[in-house]
């Protein structure tokens, strides 16, 4: 059993790997881990790779070695136990042995265990680079380039934004250290000539001159809409980019500029409006400061709301604000009132079709909900510091509230949607037994937040989770590298109860911090690409699985016959 929690890649070295609970029993006899580091693509030896091992129960006790010219590496003098194994080399990002997502196969050493014929197939990193140019064939510097990656994450097939870079003065961008996946590229920005009137705003008495000025300004008041490779405004029509291991793929994009729209938004309760007093704060004893609303515009990209850069270009004393920096189109708009980046005044979400000159009065959309509640642990008011989290599907941010004296309140209001309720912070040994809610529907831990609701949660938690230790067997023989899944009843509403692992070199695994309940354990060979969060996907494997009842504080030992991914 080994669970990779963290891969730290520094300028010179990989550092891995931690695990849950597995004894490393000292013994008089010492053991060895040895093998070869090979390029996963070519099969050629990788010389000079940094190879590290660490006991899974003692993360800081790290040993290092450099692979030889033939890729060979050796660690001598080891005690019986399990060791996380990782490697790194220039052009090969830090990775655990046979790593999948955040899991890797640990090496078990001891009597009768073969730990000396390891073949570490190091996956070389790929990359995407390209040039962003305008319709006039000029390089576009300063454009925002977003990288989206497709794959299975937590059992769900998703395409999500991974990182953002900015093009240089030549219009070049580069994404390095990419794994063998499918990717999408999207670019947006503003032309270099777009912001030529930042300071002066002169009203001319001559209508001819004023009209000419307006017309000429419109020629340079342009934006580059969010454009997906190879040149479409629709994410559905974006072309995936496959990055083979070790290869640099070129993806050049030509952007077509569009008119920059200016929209005026009136928001009750903002400075200058009739309800301005709702929004005023006194930040210090000298100055009275009131804050404008924080308005964000989003596009739905691959099922997730993606922020489209915009700017408040004009403020007014009448509570009406002008925003610009985006092309016409459909947006999800959110508005928060409050002090700067702390939108304590509540939020509003509204679907809007924007075009130049449109005036919007915020209202009629959905309002974020206020969420508060109480947390009891083992029937007592929680005195420990804990964090209650709400994680929503397709919502770009998670929400968190700190528990104090058993009570919590989310500072940020929560947009409508479905959220999974969870505990975090110092509450590792605590688990949620029951959640009840007023002002919202809840099934299991899935909370349905509706517009403008005032939701009170009552979370009953307990301490003492269980643990499952086991071995994955293939026709009676231990099998390394299988995906182990602990499946709760009603997985659709209890996804946070799922535990996973990857079987180690001796076929063993550990599933820690199991919330008491009824589960089945399955082991799937080559199952890492299964979207297991969909109950239908796991159903074919559950028929052969045994049902276990797991109680708090107990350890269950199981044997699981490996099934092959269908």
Partner 1 sequence: MSIAHTERSRDHSNLIQCLITVALALLFVPLLSAQTNAGTGSQIPRIRATGRVVNSLTGEAISRALVMIEGRAQRVAFTDSEGNFVFDDLWSVPLVFHARKPGFLEDNQTVITPHAGESITLKLNPSALIVGQVATDDGEPIESASIELLGQRVVDGRKQWTRMGNASTDEDGRFRLPNLRPGKYLISVGPFSNQALGQEATGFPTTYYPNAPDRNSATPVQIGYGQQVEANFSLTAVPVYTVMGTVVGQLDHSLGVTIRDSSGQNVGLGAAFNRTTGQFRIMGVPRGTYTLQVDSYSPSEDSLTGRVTITVTASQSGIVIPLHPTIKIPVEVRREDVRVSAPPEQKVDQGIVITTGQFGRRQFTDPGVRIRAVPTGSDGQENAAWGEPDQQGRIFLRRMAPGSYRILATPVADYYVHSVQSGGVNLLSEPLVISESGTVQPIEVVLRNDTAKIKGTVRGVTSSGALIAIPSGNDTQSPAFGNYGEDGHCYFPPLAPGTYKVYAFDHGTEEIEYANPEALEEYDSKSAQVTLSPNQTGEVTLDVIKVTQ
Residues that bind partner 1 (CB under 8 A): 8, 10-13, 15, 54, 59-62, 64, 90, 127, 136, 138-139, 141, 168-169, 174, 176-177, 192-193, 196-197, 199-200, 202, 204-206, 208-209, 212-213, 216-217, 219-220, 271-272, 283-292, 312, 315, 317, 340
Nearest to 175 by CA among 243, 88, 95: 243
- Residue pair 491/420 in contact (Cβ under 8 Å)? The answer is no
% helix / strand / coil in the chain, to the nearest 5? 5, 50, 40
| Shortest distance, position 16 Cβ to partner 1, whole Å | 10
| Shortest distance, position 11 Cβ to partner 1, whole Å | 4
| Shortest distance, position 566 Cβ to partner 1, whole Å | 39
Looking at the Cβ atoms of 191 and 444, the one nearer to partner 1 is: 191
Q: Residue 142: how many CB atoms within 10 A of its CB?
A: 14
Looking at the Cβ atoms of 264 and 456, the one nearer to partner 1 is: 264
One-character DSSP codes across 16-82: --B-SS------SS-EEEEEEEEETTT--B-TT-EEEEEETT-TT--EEEE--TTSEEEEEEEPSEE
Looking at the Cβ atoms of 169 and 557, the one nearer to partner 1 is: 169
CA pair distance 187, 227, nearest whole angstrom: 5
HEC assignment per residue over 146-181: EEEEEEEECCEEEEEEEEEEECCCCCEEEEEEECCC
CA pair distance 385, 456, nearest whole angstrom: 19
SS3 282: strand
- Tokens 């086991």 belong to 470
Looking at the Cβ atoms of 236 and 317, the one nearer to partner 1 is: 317
Q: What does the angle CA 217 – CA 221 – CA 191 come to, to the nearest 5 degrees?
A: 130
Looking at the Cβ atoms of 270 and 502, the one nearer to partner 1 is: 270
- Residue pair 130/185 in contact (Cβ under 8 Å)? The answer is yes
| Shortest distance, position 441 Cβ to partner 1, whole Å | 37
| Shortest distance, position 38 Cβ to partner 1, whole Å | 22
Looking at the Cβ atoms of 403 and 486, the one nearer to partner 1 is: 403
Looking at the Cβ atoms of 238 and 267, the one nearer to partner 1 is: 267
Looking at the Cβ atoms of 54 and 377, the one nearer to partner 1 is: 54
Looking at the Cβ atoms of 283 and 549, the one nearer to partner 1 is: 283
Nearest to 51 by CA among 5, 95, 104, 1: 95
Looking at the Cβ atoms of 85 and 480, the one nearer to partner 1 is: 85
Looking at the Cβ atoms of 54 and 560, the one nearer to partner 1 is: 54
CA pair distance 562, 525, nearest whole angstrom: 6
Alpha-carbon Rg for the chain, nearest whole angstrom, is 28
Task: Give me the phi and psi of 122, to 5 degrees please.
Answer: -80, 125
Tokens for 73?
């590496």
Q: In Å, how far are 5, 119, 257 from 89, measured between CA atoms?
A: 20, 16, 42
Burial classification of residue 470, based on how many CB atoms lie within 10 Å of its CB (0-12 exposed, 13-18 middle, 19 or more buried): buried
Looking at the Cβ atoms of 216 and 384, the one nearer to partner 1 is: 216
Task: Give me the phi and psi of 488, to 5 degrees please.
Answer: -80, 160
| Shortest distance, position 88 Cβ to partner 1, whole Å | 11
| Shortest distance, position 377 Cβ to partner 1, whole Å | 22
| Shortest distance, position 195 Cβ to partner 1, whole Å | 10
- Residue pair 30/76 in contact (Cβ under 8 Å)? The answer is yes
- Tokens 């964090």 belong to 387
């Amino acid at each position: 059993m080994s669970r990779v929690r963290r891969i730290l890649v520094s300028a010179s070295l990989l550092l891995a790997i931690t695990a849950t609970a597995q004894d490393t029993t000292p013994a008089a006899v010492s053991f060895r881990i040895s093998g070869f580091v090979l390029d996963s693509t070519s099969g050629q030896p990788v010389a000079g790779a940094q190879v590290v091992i660490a006991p899974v129960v003692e993360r800081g006790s790290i040993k290092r070695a450099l692979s030889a010219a033939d890729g060979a590496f050796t660690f001598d003098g080891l005690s019986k136990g399990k060791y996380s194994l990782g490697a790194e080399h220039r052009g090969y990002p830090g990775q655990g042995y046979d790593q999948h997502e955040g899991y890797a196969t640990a090496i078990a050493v001891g009597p009768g265990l073969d730990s000396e014929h390891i073949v570490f197939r190091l996956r070389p990193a790929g990359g995407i680079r390209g040039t962003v140019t305008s319709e006039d064939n000029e390089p576009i510097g300063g454009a925002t380039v977003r990288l989206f990656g497709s794959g299975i994450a937590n059992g769900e097939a998703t395409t999500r934004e991974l990182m953002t870079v900015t093009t240089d003065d030549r219009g070049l961008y580069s994404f390095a250290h990419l794994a063998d996946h499918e990717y999408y590229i999207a670019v947006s920005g503003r032309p270099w000539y777009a912001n030529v009137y930042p300071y002066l705003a002169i009203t001319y008495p001559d209508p001819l001159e004023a009209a000419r000025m307006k017309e000429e300004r419109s020629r340079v008041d342009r934006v580059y809409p969010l454009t997906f490779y190879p040149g479409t405004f629709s994410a559905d029509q974006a072309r995936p980019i496959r990055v083979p291991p070790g290869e640099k793929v070129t993806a050049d994009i030509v952007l077509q500029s569009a008119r920059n729209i200016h929209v005026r938004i009136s928001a009750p309760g903002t400075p200058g409006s009739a309800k301005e007093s709702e929004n005023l704060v006194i930040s210090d004893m000298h100055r009275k400061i009131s804050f404008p609303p924080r308005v964000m515009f989003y596009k739905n990209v691959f099922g997730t709301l993606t922020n489209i850069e915009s700017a408040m270009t004009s403020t007014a004393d009448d509570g009406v604000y002008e925003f610009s920096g985006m092309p016409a189109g459909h947006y999800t708009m959110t508005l928060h009132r409050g002090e700067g980046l702390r939108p304590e005044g509540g939020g509003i979400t509204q679907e809007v079709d924007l075009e130049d000159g449109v005036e919007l009065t915020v209202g009629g959309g959905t309002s974020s909900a206020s969420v508060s509640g109480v947390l009891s642990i083992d029937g007592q008011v929680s005195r420990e510091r804990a964090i209650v989290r709400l994680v929503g599907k397709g919502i770009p941010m998670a929400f968190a509230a700190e528990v104090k004296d058993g009570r919590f309140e989310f500072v940020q209001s929560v947009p409508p949607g479905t959220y999974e309720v969870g505990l975090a912070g110092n509450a590792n040994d605590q688990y949620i037994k029951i959640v009840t809610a007023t002002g919202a529907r809840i099934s299991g831990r899935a909370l349905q937040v509706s517009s403008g609701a005032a939701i009170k949660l009552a979370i009953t938690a307990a301490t003492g989770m269980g643990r499952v230790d086991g071995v994955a067997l293939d026709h009676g023989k231990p099998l390394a590298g299988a995906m182990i899944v602990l499946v709760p009843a009603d997985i659709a509403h209890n996804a946070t109860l799922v535990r996973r692992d990857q079987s180690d070199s001796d076929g063993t695994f550990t599933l820690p911090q199991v919330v008491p309940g009824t589960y089945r354990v399955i082991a799937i060979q080559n199952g890492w690409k299964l979207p297991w969060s969909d109950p239908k996907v796991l159903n074919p494997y559950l028929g052969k699985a045994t049902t276990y009842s797991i109680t708090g504080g107990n350890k269950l030992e199981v044997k699981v016959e490996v099934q092959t991914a269908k």
